[in-house]
Amino acid sequence: MKRILRALKSVYDFFAGDAILLAGTAIAFAAAFLLSHLATNALAAIAFVLLIVAALVTTLLREAGGSSR
Amino acid sequence: MIAHFGAVFVAAFLASAVEFVEAFTIVLVIGVTINWRSSLAGTALAVVALAAIVGVLGTALIRYVPLEALRLIVGLLLVLFGLKWLKKAIMRYAGLKALHDEEAIYEERLAELRARGVTPGKRLDPFGVATSFKSVLLEGLEVAFIVITFGIQAGSYKGMPGMAVAALGAALALLVIVGAGTLVRAPLQKIPENTLKFVVGIMLASFGTFWGGEGAGLAWWGEDLFLLALVAFYLAASGLLILLLRSGARRAGEGSERPTRRAIE
């Protein structure tokens, strides 16, 4: 069991290593998929790019808050 | 299409160069502290393992996964990779993280191995082979991942497969890094690794957004040309973030200094 968890952790670290980036990117892709079917292409594209940048901004602000403390 | 292939080549070259510098540092440490035979044996084994992984994985992906699903997954993974690299590079530029110093890493690893009582000999050393194998395999996996994803997405143009273009970029990076490293016989600390990581982060995030968006059903204005707009956007956003974080870190530094001064006074 420990080995499986360690392997999963290695895979997670290899691809993301950051829960905020992983969750933010997943939300951006899910939103793009939904909005491309429900809303206009322009709105879906803008939301997609902004959500990706929002994930980056959030994780950086968290890091900055942690290091200043 | 030629410009698209050019961008794929450059991105594969730069991303691979960063990984090869890191792997080369470990190979160099093992070569110097244990022996070159063990170091090169580990490297050769890792190269064989990587070739097998790329061959099996690359072929299986192209044959069995539909292109739209592949675009979505590849886009998602490239965005994750790109943001991960971009985050580290931005933090280093903003002064929130120490700059990556291959020279310091080299000295640290050398001291670690000497502390273990490792002394140079001529026989194959299992520890040396395993360490060299592990580092080359891990760094090489990132290169393989980038080559496969870029290669698949680039498609083919006039009979030339995108995979070959991406692989050529990675092979050229290997030649340049190993060539430069062999000539100077030192870790490649002169290569501005953070700048490379920053540029690669921008490129991976832009390509990932572009392909991932297409996989999610979006249509980009101007098709491939929109990649340039994405690069410009990520560059501007990252520049702004560096400035904001740098001024925030400066203010936090001043704030933490003030009470100390008062205490001294």
Q: B133-190 pLDDT, tens per residue? A: 888 888 888 888 888 877 777 666 666 677 788 888 888 888 888 888 777 666 555 6
Contact B78, B207 (CB under 8 A): yes
User: Does B224 score more than 90 pLDDT?
Assistant: no
Residue B104's pLDDT band (cuts 50, 70, 90): low
Contact A20, A55 (CB under 8 A): yes
Q: Indicate the DSSP class of residue B156.
A: E
Number of domains present in the structure of chain B: 1
Tell me which residue range forms the domain holding B135. Answer: 2-264
Taking only Cα atoms into account, the Rg of chain B, rounded to an integer number of angstroms, comes to 21
B83 vs A68: CB contact, 8 Å cut-off? no
Give residue ranges of B with CB < 8 Å to any A CB: 72, 75-77, 79-81, 83-84, 86-87, 90-91, 94, 96, 141-142, 205, 209, 212-213, 216-220, 230, 233-234, 237, 241, 245, 248-249, 252
- A66 → chain B, closest CA residue: B96
Give dist(CA A23, CA A45) in Å, integer. 18
Query: Nearest to residue B144, comparing CAs of B69, B72, B61?
Result: B61
B218 vs A41: CB contact, 8 Å cut-off? yes
Query: Nearest to residue B246, comparing CAs of B93, B98, B94, B91?
Result: B94
Residues in B touching A16 (Cβ below 8 Å): 80, 84
- B72 → chain A, closest CA residue: A29
- What's the pTM? 0.72
Give dist(CA B121, CA B103) in Å, integer. 24
Q: Go through chain A and tell me how many residues it has.
A: 69
Residue A45's pLDDT band (cuts 50, 70, 90): very high
